[in-house]
Copies of this chain bind each other. A is one copy, B any other.
C-alpha cells in the first residue's frame, strides 16, 4: 500500500459495470483489499510478478458505464444467491460497492440516441476525465465487459477504418459507422487510457485505432478473454500437435445461462463468439478440421458454463482415437480476476511507455491482438504464458518519471 502522494490509485473504468463479471471483479477486489479472500485465479498475484511493480489490488478504484440502473450491491446479492460469490461477502464490503456504484454513469443505448458519434465520444471522454480528476487517479484503464456485439456486416472492409486520417474525416462527416465498442476504444485512447477488449466486440481492433494508440502512446489489449472451452483448447491442441497426432474433428457444445446465454445463443453475437473460437482452433491445429461449435442458452445453468468437447484424432498407422472433456465453470469467477490482472498489467505497461498492441497479454485472450497486422499471434497457452512471464522482468526496474507527474 502506498500513500496517495507517492503512487496515486489506478482507476478501472468498466464498460458494463453492473454486469456479472464487473460486479464480481469489484466485489473481489474489495475482498482482497479487506483481507477476506486470497487471490485465487489471479494470474499476476504470483511471485513471478512480485517485482514487476504492478499497482496493488488495494489501489484499484472502480467506475464505469452501464445501461442498467440496478445497483452493484443488489447485483452482488443476486450473485451470492446463485452461489457465484460467498453469501456474506456483499455485506462485508458494502461500502466499497457503494463507492463504485456512485462512480457509474448511465450508458445510452445507441438506438434512439440523437447525438452524433463525435458528441457521444466527447461525452465518454468527459466521463473518463471527470473520474480521473475526482478520484485523483494517476491513470485509468478502460475495460469492455459489456454484452458482445453482433458482427458488423461489411466489416472489416470499411474503407474509413484503415487509416486514422480517414477515420477522423468520417467522424467529422458523422458516417464513420463505428460500433459502440470502437467508439469506446477511440474515446479511451484519446483520453490517454489503456483499453482492453474483454469481449469479441470490435473495440480497438481496427487499423485506424491501432494507429491512434501508437500515435498517442497508449497500449491496448484483447480480444475475448478465454475462461473455459478455449482455455482448454489452447492447452490441448498444442499437446496433440506436439505429439504429431492428426486431429480429424473437434466438436464443442457450450451451455450457458445468465445474461451471456441469452445474448450469445444463436444470434449474431454467437456468430462473433464461435467465429473467434474456431479461428483460434484452426490456427492451433494448422488447418480447419471437421466439427462445429455450439453455444446454447440454458437459463437453468445460472452463472455456470458447461462445455463439452469431443476431439477425434488419428495416431500411428491410422488408428482412430478420441478425447472428450467437460468443463463446468463459473464464468464470472473465472473472468473477474483476469479483469483485475489486465487492469494491473495495462496500467504498468502504460507507465513504462508501451503503446499500441500489448502482446504479452495474449495469454488472456481467445483472439489475441498481433504485434502488427503482419504478425501471426501465438495461440498456444503455455507459450503465451512464457511470453507474459518474460515481460515481467522488463518492467521490474523503477520507471522514469512520466512527463507532468
Interface residues of A (CB under 8 A from B): 24, 27-28, 31, 37, 39-43, 45-46, 83-87, 89, 231-232, 235-236, 238-239, 242-246, 248-249, 251, 253, 255, 290-292, 294, 296-302, 306, 308, 310, 312, 314-330, 333-334, 336-337, 363, 380-383, 385-386
Contacts and interface: CB of A to CB of B under 8 A. Distances in A.
Contacts of A239: 231-232, 235, 381-382
30 contacts: A31-B317, A37-B318, A40-B314, A41-B243, A84-B317, A232-B236, A235-B238, A239-B381, A242-B381, A242-B385, A244-B337, A249-B255, A251-B253, A251-B255, A253-B253, A290-B297, A294-B294, A298-B312, A308-B308, A308-B324, A316-B334, A316-B337, A319-B330, A321-B327, A321-B328, A321-B333, A321-B334, A325-B326, A326-B326, A383-B386
A252 to B, nearest CB: 9
Contacts of A381: 239, 242, 382
A40 B296 contact: no
A333 B315 contact: yes
A236 B236 CA distance: 7
A31 B326 CA distance: 35
A328 B310 CA distance: 11
Number of copies: 4
B334 A291 contact: no
A308 B244 CA distance: 22
A136 B76 CA distance: 48
A325 B298 CA distance: 18
Nearest to A296: B292
A46 B382 CA distance: 20
Contacts of A42: 244, 316
Contact of A301 (B85, B244, B301, B312): B312
A296 B235 contact: no
B40 A246 contact: yes
Contacts of A291: 255, 296, 298
